Amino acid sequence: MNDFIRHKDDWCIQMYRFAEQAEAHVEKMNEIIRSLHAAGLVRRTGLLGGIIDVAPYADDRGDETTNQVTQAVLLVPEGLGVIFRDTEEMHAKITHADMRRLFTPIGEMKPMLRLTYLPCATVLLAQFEDLIGE
Query: Judging by beta carbons within 10 Å of its beta carbon (0-12, 13-18, 19+), is residue 71 exposed, middle or buried?
Result: buried
Please give the order of strands across the beta sheet that includes 79-86. Answer: 45-55, 68-76, 79-86, 103-105
Rounded average pLDDT over 82-92: 83
Q: What is the pTM of this model?
A: 0.78
Q: What's the CA gap between 22 and 81, in Å, rounded?
A: 12
Q: How confident is the model at residue 80 (pLDDT cuts 50, 70, 90)?
A: very high
| Cα(54)–Cα(44) distance, integer angstroms | 28
pLDDT tens digits along 4-60: 777 777 877 777 777 777 777 788 888 999 999 999 989 999 999 988 888 787 666
Q: State which amino acid sits at residue 91.
A: H
pLDDT at 75: 95
- Supply φ then ψ for residue 82, to 5 degrees: -135, 165
**pLDDT recorded at residue 100:** 93
Side-chain-facing half-sphere of 122: CA atoms under 13 Å? 5
